[in-house]
Amino acid sequence: MLFSDLLAWQTDRMSAIRGARERARVEVTAAIKKEARRQLAADGAAKLSLRAVARELGMASSALYRYFPSRDDLLTALIVDAYDAVGERAEAARATPAGSTGPHTARFAEVACAVRDWALAHPHEYALIYGSPVPGYTAPQDTVGPASRVGFVFLGLVRAAYLADGLAVGRMPGELRPEAERMAAELAPDLPPASVAALIAAWAQLFGLISFEVFGQFHRVVEARDAFFRHSAGELARSVGLSDGPATGTGDTHDRTH
């Protein structure tokens, strides 16, 4: 065997070894997260334990620490995954015909219903990101981007309506104007501050509706929940100023000033 052939063989072998190790790491990481989610469902986030996860997987605790050095690291991974999952669901809803070409209010409701559907299908993950804070846990900066995905979808819908003259800009009380201007400057400087403030209020009410349903507060109160939620989402869209006229564009680009 020539030296060049030997070198090529060694290079291929090392690449194969690295690939196998990377695949194994991905598989073990997925197994750890799956078991952690099972424990979340059974006992809640506050009782999540790396030792318990390792025990259920037949791993030594020291081996698991190579994947997640602390409980907080594992929680962060689960939180990021949950935010990404609901964000992907919202973005997918925006891309559907109902979410991209219908009336502005219907587009808003379509995305809202997609978020609700995800929450009902994943109540424990929803509780992790939108429920009570986990005692002793402080979310790091790398959760901010994933946590913003749903909000930016709704901002995009409002922006699309604004560019298409499908957004009625409401009046803002004088005492709230500085706060509305601050929020708009931080979140969407191309949109009217009153509209940004109205969207934030609607966003909070939307998740209030979802949380009431996920956590059981609608029991024996609301029976036709699908229809109730879609109607409520449409009303929230109107409270932001979205019109029932047809939507154009995605809202991802903008060139209008106010």
Structure tokens at 233: 């989402």
- In the prediction, which pLDDT does 15 show? 61
- In the prediction, which pLDDT does 208 show? 96
Q: Domain 70-258 is classified in which CATH homologous superfamily?
A: Tetracycline Repressor, domain 2 (1.10.357.10)
pLDDT over threshold 90, residue 221? yes
pTM of the model: 0.84
The confidence band for 97, taking pLDDT boundaries of 50, 70 and 90, is: confident
- In the prediction, which pLDDT does 214 show? 96
pLDDT over threshold 60, residue 85? yes
- In the prediction, which pLDDT does 199 show? 97
pLDDT over threshold 80, residue 115? yes
- In the prediction, which pLDDT does 170 show? 87
pLDDT over threshold 60, residue 197? yes
Q: Please compute the mean of the pLDDT values over residues 157-177 and round it to a whole number.
A: 92
- In the prediction, which pLDDT does 22 show? 76
pLDDT over threshold 50, residue 248? yes
What are the residue boundaries of the structural domains of the chain, listed by start?
Answer: 1-69, 70-258
Q: In this structure, are residues 256 and 163 in contact, taking their beta carbons and an 8 Å threshold?
A: yes
User: pLDDT exceeding 70 applies to what percent of the chain?
Assistant: 86
